[in-house]
Structure 1
Amino acid sequence: MKIDLIAGARPNFMKISPIIDAIRQASDRGHDISFRLVHTGQHYDQNMSGSFFEALNIPPPDVNLGAGGGSQAEQTAAIMIGYEKLLLESRSDLCLVVGDVTSTMACAISAQKLSVPVAHVEAGIRSGDWTMPEEINRMVTDSITNYFFTTTEAADQNLIRSGVGEERIFRVGNTMIDTLLKHRPRFKQPEIWEQKALDVGKYIVMTLHRPANVDQEEKLRALIEQIVAHTQGLPLIFPVHPRTRKILENLGIVHDALHMIEPLGYLEFNFLVERAKAVVTDSGGITEEATVMGIPCMTLRDNTERPETITMGTNELLGNDPKSISPAMEKLFAGNWKKGQEIPLWDGKTAERIVKHIIDIFNI
């Protein structure tokens, strides 16, 4: 059995890596199972994609569709065309997609149109916010998925409410946490650590990239200024996403405590998160990683598709009103931030469970 593993953007690589390991282990045990790693090329910046293959010990892609950038529609079309051509030339037995990026939706569509079954890892998560491209990607993908691998009971219930039969839903946990736990001993000190004489618990990490936060220049300025103003002089380390950098160039924001740096590799970024006093972000994945590492997390969004990071984890939704920053920082520095707890099945064995289910489903 040949499985296409689809990776196109930075979050995908963290979710695919443990599945590759689990497939190899199953093959070594005598199961007729193999994979073809398909890189769609959705992210093509070295720091945003290429470095992850090396850091996470992912083999070179078997295929690179080279979709590149462009608008949402242009990128979706390029990936669909490229993947359809690949399947027509060399058909796989299962298309396994992860997460909620454009590549996830586009390859799922192309596979189903050629009657190749689709498995979705991280199925069923919902923010309820249709202004987010990721939410559309999730809904479309899940509407044409055959096998649903979920992270939590909340995701299960979202699928059941949409009409998915429980026999097709498999709660397995979170492959991103598999990767985090495996590579945690390998976290690597980035250059900024010594350059700015950083110390454990004495700096804050920030990431911003969502349109609601960064596309309006004055709103972005207000957010950053409020964050800087309420961090009590601690260094604010800001690895800048490429789309955010273009906007920041027009703002000219300068502050002694604000350190804007290039995007970091996986091992370097999580080294910083693990030792930070807190994280300020609008990324869903970072809220999961911060929860597992027990780091206070402030999310500058009005909603989240990962409610477990709030109900059981260290994450709090602040919205994207700059006025929400001050009370959250006061709570943090007063030592009153919640501690969080372990989330069921986020134990580093998710990929093993996924591959076991696939072996059982296809009787291999």
Structure 2
Amino acid sequence: MTRTLLTVVGARPQFIKAAPVSHALRRAGGVREILVHTGQHFDAAMSDIFFQELDIAPPAHNLEVNSLGHGAMTGRMLEKLEIVMQAEKPDAVMIYGDTNSTVAGALAAAKLHIPVAHVEAGLRSFNRRMPEEINRVMADHLSALLLSPTQAGVDNLAAEGIVQGVHHAGDVMYDITLSAVARARGESSILAREGLSPKGYQVATIHRAENTDNPERFERVLAWLEQAAQTMPVVMPVHPRTGKLLEAQGRKLANIRLIAPLGYLDMAWLVNQSAGVMTDSGGLQKEAYFHRVPCTTLRDETEWVETIESGWNRLWTTREYAERREIADYGTGHASDLIATKVKELMG
């Protein structure tokens, strides 16, 4: 019997995470996956290109919910997702990560008594001022299947009383990074286009609300990056929110080259060939490790604590890295196959 899985995505990292799992579900057979795009990331540079590059089927539904505050965006998504779920009648709903799309998908499914599978469950920064932290906690407590990329995530869930349906699955981002680097080596021309030399530049990204919504903190982050750029050039793909802020302020960045958002292959190769990464992105912290590139996190805490403990990452508030070692938690590049198996079991 073919079961129906409804997958909710809305932001760039979720498109990337969904790709290897969708491929694994196809290989496993017996599952009809319906992809729903909430519209949270809506322009071609942050959305369309990822479906094309990563061989994901075009979304069956695009809810076109974006450019709203947290409450309005989540509420509008919840309303529209409920309509889609009632029409499609899925056997389970899959959500990824920690965005407004994530929590809206979990809430809509839970209210309709549809079991929820959460990929990247159990992550905690323990900073409840971050909207992403609230989204994570709510999504986990509404989920029937909790697929954690790390043992730390499993431990966090146990501390909150969640032990049923919990699995240490490994990280699907590692799965896709392995294949993306092989493709990007032959297909990406990002270094030639930007006139960059391997290991002769650093990569920076800023997009988190905790950095962009506070003018004083935003300026501190920019000044920190300008100081880092004095030792080695910095290339920064600009998130739309950050670009609008810089434009509104008329802020020019010294020794930092601003470029348009990149597709996944170009971004993977840009990071792979860099000397270092500076970011407030959770996903990019891990991707830096996958490429074995040191990272500095432009936040006061991180949910990816193992990257700090293993010496591949540090917070911008500290000067030194821990002693460097490999991270076993992320698996061997087959997390998506385990996730596909567990999701099929959830659906019966």
CA contact (8 A) 2:311 2:324 kept: yes
* Structure 2 residue identity aligned to 1:270: A
Query: Pick from 84, 92, 95: which aligns with 1:94?
Result: 92
Greater Cα shift, 340-349 or 4-13 = 340-349
Percent of aligned pairs with the same amino acid = 35
SS of aligned partner of 2:328: coil
Q: 1:255 to 1:12 in 2, by over 3 A?
A: closer
Deviations 1:164-194 (A, max 9, x none): 12x4111111112111112111124354x23
* Change in 2 beyond 3 A, CA 1:230/1:74: closer
**Structure of larger gyration radius:** 1
The alignment of Structure 1 onto Structure 2 pairs a total of residues equal to 344
Instruction: Please tell me the residue identity of whatever aligns with 1:179.
Output: I
Higher mean alpha-carbon deviation, 345-354 vs 97-106, is at 345-354
2:343 maps to what in 1?
358
Q: 1:222 to 1:141 in 2, by over 3 A?
A: closer
1:16-95 matches, cutoff 5 A: 16-27=18-29, 32-95=30-93
Given that residues 145 and 346 in structure 2 are in contact (C-alpha distance below 8 angstroms), is that contact kept between their aligned partners in structure 1?
no
Counterpart in 1 of 2:313? 315
* Structure 1 portions without partners, runs of 5+: none
Structure 1 position 346, deviation (Å): 2.8
The Cα shift of 1:90 comes to 2.1
Residues 147/199 of structure 1: CA separation in 2 closer, same or farther (3 Å cut): same
Q: Which amino acid aligns with 1:99?
A: G
Provide Cα deviations, 1:242-272, integer angstroms capped at 9, x if missing partner. 1111221244444562101111111111111
Q: Is the 8 A contact 1:297 1:314 kept in 2?
A: yes
Is the aligned partner of 1:189 residue 2:188? yes
Give the Cα–Cα distance (whole angstroms) in 2 for the partners of residues 69 and 256 of structure 1.
Answer: 29
Contact in 1 for aligned 2:109/2:116 (Cα 8 Å): yes
Q: Distance in 2 between matches of 1:22 and 1:196?
A: 35
Contact 1:119 1:148 in 2 (8 A): yes
Residue 283 of structure 1, aligned match among 277, 281, 284: 281
Question: Structure 2: which amino acid aligns with 1:172?
Answer: A
Report 1:208-227 matches (<5 A). 208-227=206-225
Structure 2 stretches lacking a partner, 5+ long: none
Q: Is the 8 A contact 2:73 2:100 kept in 1?
A: yes
1:1-364 equivalences under 5 Å are: 1-27=3-29, 32-165=30-163, 167-187=164-184, 188-191=187-190, 193-254=191-252, 257-312=255-310, 314-319=312-317, 328=319, 339-363=324-348
Go from structure 1 to structure 2 and tell me whether the alpha carbon gap of 1:219 and 1:152 turns closer, same or farther (over 3 Å shift).
closer
> If the length of structure 1 is used for normalisation, what is the TM-score?
0.89
8 A contact 2:94–2:117 mirrored in 1: yes
Q: Using the alignment, how far apart are the partners of 2:33 and 2:253 within structure 1?
A: 48
CA distance in structure 2 between the partners assigned to 1:351 and 1:68 by the alignment: 29
> 119-128 vs 66-75, which deviates more?
66-75
Shift of residue 196, structure 1, vs aligned partner: 4.4
Secondary structure in 2 matching 1:47: coil
**Matching residue's letter, 1:108:** A
AA partner of residue 189 (structure 1): S
Per-residue CA shift, 1:178-229, capped at 9, x if unaligned?
11112111124354x2354211111010001123323344543343233323
Q: CA deviation at 1:21?
A: 0.6
**Alpha-carbon contact 2:117-2:343 (below 8 Å) kept:** no
Change (3 A) 1:126 1:256: closer
Distance 2:245 2:55 in 1: 33
2-side partners of 1:138 and 1:51: how far apart?
27
Contact 1:201 1:277 in 2 (8 A): yes
1:338 Cα deviation from its structure 2 partner:
5.2
* Structure 1 counterpart of 2:8, one-letter code: I
The CA distance in 1 between the partners of 2:344 and 2:192, in whole Å, is 48
For the residue of structure 2 that corresponds to 1:96, the secondary structure is strand
Give secondary structure in 1 for the equivalent of 2:46: helix
